[in-house]
Amino acid sequence: MKQKPTGKKGKDMPKRILQGTVTSSSADKTITVLVERREKHPILGKIVRKSKKFTAHDEANKFQKGDTVRIQECRPISKTKTWEVILDEA
């Protein structure tokens, strides 16, 4: 009889880290971050800017509109919030 594996396989997937600009900090412990990336258009060959907004968890309400922050994937905190702010102590 086969035994079911218990626990994880030992290696976790690395968490994605993105950098962007805070566009809204009006909600409590939540910020909205605009992340821009540049990619080449497949037909025109021109560099095009694409952007996406993410909601991130800001435990200390430290960041304000216009700040540049780094966010990292985490467990789901709410329906739309699966990112958290990385506090760089440098």
Task: State pLDDT tens for residues 53-82.
Answer: 999 999 999 999 999 999 999 999 999 999
Does any domain span residue 15? no
Residues spanned by the domain of 44: 20-85
CATH number at residue 75: 2.40.50.140
Does any domain span residue 61? yes
Average pLDDT for 32-57: 97
The pLDDT-based confidence of 13 (bands split at 50, 70, 90) is: confident
Q: How many helices (H) and strands (E) does the chain have?
A: 0, 5
Does any domain span residue 14? no
For the chain, how many structural domains are there in total?
1
Distance CA 52, CA 24 (A): 14
pTM: 0.79
Does any domain span residue 11? no
82: phi then psi, degrees, rounded to nearest 5: -130, 25
Does any domain span residue 7? no
Task: Give the closest residue to 57 by CA, choosing from 35, 32, 34, 36.
Answer: 32
